[in-house]
Structure 1
Amino acid sequence: MKMKKFAALAAATVMSVSALAAASAFGVFATTDAGTNNIVIKDSDTNRVYKAYQIFDQTTAINTISWGNGINGDALLSNLKTSGLNTYMSQFDSAESAADVVKIISDADHWTKEDTAKFAKAAAGCILNDNAVTATEANGEYTINVPNAGYYLVVDATENNGVDKANSALILNVSGTTDVTPKRTKPTLTKQIKHNEYNTWGDVGDNAIGDDVEFKITTTIPSDVSAYDKYTYTVRDQLSEGFTFNDNLTYKYYDADGQEITSVTVDPNKTVGDDSSTTDYKESFFVTFDIKELVKNYPTVAKIETYYSAKLNENAKVAVTAHDSVNNNPNTAYLTYSNNPQDTTGKEKGETPKVTVYDWTFSLVGKKVDEKDEPLAGAKFQLQDRNGAALKLVDISDGENKNVFRLAIGNEAGAIDTIITDATGEFTIKGIDDKTTYKLVETEAPAQYNRADSYEFEFSTSYYPANKLLSIKMLDGTASGTSGSTVKVINQKGGSLPTTGGIGTQIFYGVGGAIVLGAGVLLIVKKRAKND
């Protein structure tokens, strides 16, 4: 074969692989000038490993092509005849030499970009690692100085296990010094929590204990996974002990323009597994997607949104004062994904950074005192919603923490609706939402004291960043509210008339009768004195 014939082969392969773009795990390169045999890869990503293998040699004779020193030619011939290429590839059955193979793959009228990808994979299984030429890195470029002109297979041999990177698929580019740009394709993941008061998605939320908290995980699909025999990725979600997973998952598929393709609710017992890879979280789950199959069913799919909810439970951490970066309830998600087109199993080695969102809940601290700021026992309180309905509470006091309650979850056994203060006059109610109106109502005052007015309030909070409570105050009708989460309820002694029929009324009548009787006696005495 003459040089121009070899150049035609290169040009034909350029067309097919260029159209293929990132779909192939390998780029097949031809060099025709023995004096300038560099292959230069433009890549700013550091510490990558690129290797070149000579598949066909064009230096031994100008009119012949032989197997290069980077390939086991006999093995490649066998591989091409059994590797499952398309029906046109049956012509490989009669191929006996490198020249025969070149004749087939240079037939631009029949050879396709898909054939190029398959040929590259077939060749990759027959390379001779001892004869690889490894690139050197400098100034955002990787230079492979190949010793001889010829046809080369360039492999991205970087080890990307457990990191958010994928191996490259390279585009064919033919020239004396071949400049190529790697094409790497990998997915992304973001996670959000719904802020229930504003109905918006973000990285922070706040709820009452017992609320169902909504989460959304968004994952993108690589633009082209045709280079992979199998491509899977797994959404891995980790819930802290303050959440109980509700076993409800909905998936929404979107195209590149953001248009919803379909929405599917799937039985979690068949699609969700416990993630045993972590011990840091009480509950965790994973969902695995077969991306090749998904793209087959929905060719335009570009993004998946995974929705679920979890209940804020009795183990939730509760904030009291700012600044606080400890008493929050994190929820973390990340993605593991196929990242090496050379791995025919589609094993997941890539891993996105973990994304964490935070949910907050709060405490109300009550202090019952008299007008001298002394604590009062025997006062009865209810925490009511804005409509006056008493909220159910559970006593969670222990040996060190007395008079501590939290909001009940559903129809929880042992729940109460009234708190009675002890000699300390203090009590705490945990698990309160912000931007929600509550009323602290004294339903009965201690003996000889008047009931205090109801205290209506809502918490107002701010965060920066999402895992740090920057401020908390109680909006209670005053101009700027009250800083913190503590309310002091003051009782005054006396000051109101006793009710009719009570013991106080009988005393009142008795004293009045004595006064009248005394006046009568005094009048009689005065009359007698006058007569005398």
Structure 2
Amino acid sequence: GSKEVSAGQSGSWSAAATAGMGDTVHFRIKAFTPKYHGDKKVYEYKFVDQLDPGLTFDSSSFILKIDDELLTISENYTIEIAEQKATIILRAHASSGYPANAEVEISYAATVNENAQPDNGNSVSMSWTEFDPSTDPTDPDNPPVPASENLPVDVAASVYVYGFHLQKYQDSVDEEKFLEGAEFKLFDAASGGKEIELVQSTDGQYRLALGDESGVPIAAGTASIFGLDTGTYWLEETFVPVGFNPLKERVKVEISEENTLDGYLIDTINVVNKAGIILPGTGGIGSYIFYLAGGLLMLAALLYLLKKSRPASPKKVK
């Protein structure tokens, strides 16, 4: 048997996929489920699918097929979901026209939730009960029994979720120059674009906002951001500590499977603010204030020179 996952409903299937919090991922189980095993007839197959806490079943999404034909719930199978475990019973004996060499495909969707970790596993095991075909399996004196050999091993798939660490410095990257008091927001573009809202989970820890949660700025200092898929993101400094110059552009954050370790970027995103005053740029009220102040100073200097160069009035002699 096999267990595969895809980040898209019609995407490529593999043993692992990447996703962010709030994303939907799709799982697929394939198994050989024949009508007979040796001289025994199969009564039913049992699949136990276990999700890690970072994944949530979509209970309405389960689909079962045998040889590309849809099966009917209750008539051909049953499903019971209890928190992180789904138990699927395939009723081989009770299903009319069950194929001798059946191959079942079970598919369903799950959502990456707020409990996600860097590696969110999903495993499934299969077992079955069987009986002597010359007997009646509904006879309480001769019930089907669990198969005693050739049970398949568990198979698993994983969903990987990512994040990064952010560190703020004054003037240069130096562990003695950590800078507190800045605030950032995360976007999906170098300019404009959509804000990727985050919530604070613990002190200095932020994750992707879900549902109706309202986003908050990233306070740095030191911060960790988690819950992201692979891709390119952009940090915008929205509040600058007093006495420091703002950043001129957003900071690029690129996440891939190759540049991460244990779910986080290997390299910390270091952001430096320089101390000092920046002269206002062209245009805007800041420029006019600057020019006005300069003009007033020049006028005052001119008046002073004129007054100093004017000849003194002669004194009257009485």
Length-normalised TM-score, structure 1: 0.49
Tell me how far 1:440 sits from its aligned partner: 1.6
Aligned counterpart in structure 2 of residue 377 of structure 1, from 170, 180, 183: 180
Taking the aligned partners of 1:511 and 1:438, their CA distance within structure 2 comes to 42
Tell me how far 1:214 sits from its aligned partner: 1.2
What pairs up with 1:18-167 in 2 under 5 angstroms? none
The one-character-per-residue Cα deviations of 1:233-289 (angstroms, maximum 9, x if unpaired) are: 1011111111111112111211xxxxx2x124748xx921246xxxxxx61111111
What pairs up with 1:370-409 in 2 under 5 angstroms? 370-373=170-173, 374-386=177-189, 388-397=193-202, 402-409=203-210
Taking the aligned partners of 2:206 and 2:8, their CA distance within structure 1 comes to 23
Taking the aligned partners of 1:299 and 1:409, their CA distance within structure 2 comes to 44
Distance 1:292 1:485, change over 3 A: farther
Residue aligning to 2:15 = 203
Question: Is 1:459–1:472's contact at 8 Å kept on the other side of the alignment?
Answer: no
The question of 1:432 aligning with 2:245 is answered no
The question of 1:416 aligning with 2:215 is answered yes
In the alignment, structure 1 segments of 5+ residues that lack a partner are: 1-188, 255-259, 276-281, 319-327, 464-468, 475-483
Equivalenced residues, count: 295
Tell me how far 1:195 sits from its aligned partner: 4.4
Q: Secondary structure at the match of 2:31?
A: strand
Distance 1:224 1:372, change over 3 A: closer
Normalized per residue, the structure richer in strand is: 2
Q: Secondary structure at the match of 1:518?
A: helix
Taking the aligned partners of 1:245 and 1:451, their CA distance within structure 2 comes to 43
Taking the aligned partners of 1:352 and 1:419, their CA distance within structure 2 comes to 48
The question of 1:454 aligning with 2:250 is answered yes
Aligned counterpart in structure 2 of residue 245 of structure 1, from 57, 64, 87: 57
Residue aligning to 2:165 = 365
Which amino acid in 2 is paired with 1:308? Y
Distance 1:462 1:378, change over 3 A: closer
Distance 1:462 1:506, change over 3 A: closer
Which amino acid in 1 is paired with 2:229? D
Which amino acid in 1 is paired with 2:209? A
Taking the aligned partners of 2:99 and 2:219, their CA distance within structure 1 comes to 64
Residue aligning to 2:114 = 314
Residue aligning to 2:24 = 212
Taking the aligned partners of 1:314 and 1:527, their CA distance within structure 2 comes to 80
Tell me how far 1:369 sits from its aligned partner: 2.1
The question of 1:286 aligning with 2:93 is answered no
Tell me how far 1:372 sits from its aligned partner: 3.2
Residue aligning to 2:79 = 272
Aligned counterpart in structure 1 of residue 297 of structure 2, from 487, 499, 514: 514
Residue aligning to 1:222 = 34
Q: Secondary structure at the match of 2:307?
A: helix
> Between the two proteins, what is the percent identity of the paired residues?
24
Aligned counterpart in structure 2 of residue 526 of structure 1, from 300, 309, 314: 309
**RMSD, aligned α-carbons:** 3.4
Residue aligning to 2:120 = 329
The one-character-per-residue Cα deviations of 1:284-317 (angstroms, maximum 9, x if unpaired) are: 11111121233x3243662011011221111111
Q: Secondary structure at the match of 1:200?
A: coil
**Is 384-393 or 507-516 further displaced after alignment?**
507-516
Which amino acid in 1 is paired with 2:292? Y
In the alignment, structure 2 segments of 5+ residues that lack a partner are: none
Question: Is 2:253–2:269's contact at 8 Å kept on the other side of the alignment?
Answer: no
Question: Is 1:394–1:407's contact at 8 Å kept on the other side of the alignment?
Answer: yes
Taking the aligned partners of 1:253 and 1:197, their CA distance within structure 2 comes to 19
Question: Is 1:250–1:266's contact at 8 Å kept on the other side of the alignment?
Answer: no
The question of 1:338 aligning with 2:144 is answered no
Tell me how far 1:205 sits from its aligned partner: 1.6
Question: Is 1:405–1:428's contact at 8 Å kept on the other side of the alignment?
Answer: yes
Q: Secondary structure at the match of 2:297?
A: helix
Distance 1:362 1:230, change over 3 A: closer
Q: Secondary structure at the match of 2:115?
A: coil
Question: Is 1:381–1:444's contact at 8 Å kept on the other side of the alignment?
Answer: yes
Length-normalised TM-score, structure 2: 0.79
Question: Is 1:225–1:231's contact at 8 Å kept on the other side of the alignment?
Answer: no
The one-character-per-residue Cα deviations of 1:451-471 (angstroms, maximum 9, x if unpaired) are: 2411234311159xxxxx768
Q: Secondary structure at the match of 1:209?
A: coil
Q: Which has the higher contact order (CA 8 A, sep 6+)?
A: 2
Which amino acid in 2 is paired with 1:211? D
